[in-house]
Chains A and B, each alone.
Chain A
Amino acid sequence: MATKRPVLCPNCGAHIKKNGYCSSCHMPLPVLKKAFNTSDYYYNIGYDRAVARDLSGAIDSLNISLRYNKKNIMSRNLLGLVYYEMGEIVNALSQWVMSVNYQPSGNLASKYLKELRQDPTLLANVDQIAQKYNQALNYAKSEDFDLAIIQLKSVLSSNPHFVKGYLLLALLYINSDNYERARTTLRRVLKIDKANTLAIHYLHEMGDTDENIIEMSKESVENDGLLDEEEAITLSTTGAKSDNKIKLFFGDLIEKYKAKAVSRGEYGEISFAKYSGIYVLLGMVLGIFILYFIVVPAQKRKIINEKDELIKSYSEELADKNATINSLTNEIADLNVELEAALNPEEDVQNPLPDYSGVENGMSDEDLQNLINNE
């Protein structure tokens, strides 16, 4: 018979009593179960919205999910991710820190925090972006609109996903009746957060219909020129107020942009044509250098190798021929000897008998011995 597993409290992990209440925190289990299920339900909605890039909708759903169960790790981690995607890094960090606090092990938020910690410049940048945005907001409130726009552009160049920055920039453009720029800015918002209520509200106020907005959100935002540095310089040189502080600020900004950007138009175009002769000359020198130091030595080496091979083969051939000549000479000599032998068949010709013509009184002992020997 299978033993019944004890029911544990989802809130504190203690045993649940028979009456359905936790023995430790005295929570009613049915209520907790219902709350946790509802939290998961809203997490699912939030997840679907995040996948569909309705980030502000996802934030709403995930916040509701956390109202039902603040220890819902999935909701908290996803909420952090959504904040991160919208450029609100500090909010993302706070969600992940809380998530790790509730569940220290086996938590995806630990990985996110570790990745953030590995990049020490990131936090410094985040801080700088937040300071600049807050400063831009102050400029806007004190009606220094040009300054606010420049500051916001700087912020958005550093963090192109910062939705709040785009929305404030769009509002500033609308205030200065620059509706096209406002639309371009809001299009960027819709690229990040498809159903951003504030962006849609501004577009409606500018007379755009829902169909226009849907079409607008499909258009590409690349090369829309929104964050062009050139325009920031134009604004800084023409629209700024004659305040010493502002001038100093603009001076710094212009210097920064000049260092980074290739200036065009009225700021003096850099003509690359006048350098073309130098480039051609340099190219030729480089070509000659390559020819004499790389190509020619290689060719020389190749020719020498080929010559050596040829000499070697001729030497071998010559040695073979000499050997043949030697063998044929020997053969001729042998044949000559045979020929001579054939012409003089008597061996005596070679070794004639001693001359006995002078012998008168018989043979001497010496001659006799010679005769015997010859016999």
Chain B
Amino acid sequence: MINFEEELKRFQPIPEVSQAEDAIYSNDLKDISDIVFQVTEEMKTANENAAGRYAGRVRR
């Protein structure tokens, strides 16, 4: 049986024209290339940090 209250929760207000800008920003999702770029950047930063930490040490 349909639970009216529960079903009603599915319905959300729709954006008005004045809120279109917000809708555009909220639609700006991350795709695979964003994620890969982010991962690459993180790895690069991590490498740089690691390089900084071991700077000056003599490798055996």
Q: Give me the interface of A with B, judged by CB distance under 8 Å.
A: 11, 25-28, 31-32, 35, 39, 66-71, 88, 90-91, 93-95, 97-98, 123, 126-127, 130-131, 133-134, 137, 140-141, 164, 167-168, 171, 174-175, 198, 202, 205
B31 and A35 contact, CB distance less than 8 A = yes
Q: Decide if B55 is an interface residue (CB 8 Å cutoff).
A: no
Q: Interface residues of B toward A: which range?
A: 20 to 34
**Residue numbers in A under 8 Å from B24 (CB-CB):** 94, 97-98
A90 lies within 8 A of B20 (CB):
yes
- A-B interface pairs (CB < 8 A), number: 95
CB-based contact B2/A205 at 8 Å: yes
A328 to B14, CA, bound (A): 109
B2: chain A residues within 8 A (beta carbon):
171, 174, 202, 205
Most chain B beta-carbon neighbours within 10 Å: one of A31, A70, A71, A175: A70
Q: A31-B32, A31-B36, A140-B8 are in contact. List 16 more A-B contacts (CB 8 A).
A: A11-B37, A26-B44, A27-B36, A32-B36, A70-B28, A88-B14, A90-B19, A91-B14, A93-B17, A133-B13, A133-B14, A134-B16, A171-B8, A175-B4, A198-B10, A202-B2
Q: Is the interface of A mostly helix, strand, loop or mixed?
A: helix
Question: Which residues of A lie under 8 Å from residue B49 when comparing CB positions?
Answer: none
What 1/0 mask marks residues of chain B from 1 to 23 whose CB sits below 8 Å from any chain A CB? 11010011011011111111001
B31 x A27 contact (CB < 8 A): no
Q: Do residues A130 and B16 form an inter-chain contact, with CB atoms below 8 A?
A: yes
Q: DSSP class of B's interface residues: helix, strand, loop or mixed?
A: helix
Smallest CB–CB gap between B33 and chain A, Å? 5
B15 touches A90 (CB 8 A): yes
